[in-house]
Amino acid sequence: MWAGPARAQAQPAAAVAAASAAPANVTLTGRIDTPKGPLGGAVVRLVHTKQTCATNAGGLFFFTVPADAGPVAAVAAYDGAAEVPFTMQPGGPLTVVNMAPAKLTKSNQKKLNAGIKRAHRETKRSLKKLK
Where are the domains positioned within the chain? 24-100, 104-131
What does CATH list as the number for 24-100? 2.60.40.1120
Alpha-carbon distance of 111 to 106, in angstroms, equals 9
The pLDDT, as a whole number, for residue 102 is: 73
Is residue 19 pLDDT above 70, yes or no? no
Number of CB atoms found within 10 A of residue 40's CB: 14
Query: pLDDT band at 17, cuts 50/70/90?
Result: low
**pTM for the whole structure:** 0.61
Tens of pLDDT, residues 37-92: 999 999 999 999 889 999 999 999 999 999 888 899 999 999 878 889 999 998 88
The pLDDT, as a whole number, for residue 8 is: 45
Average pLDDT of the segment spanning 17-38: 82
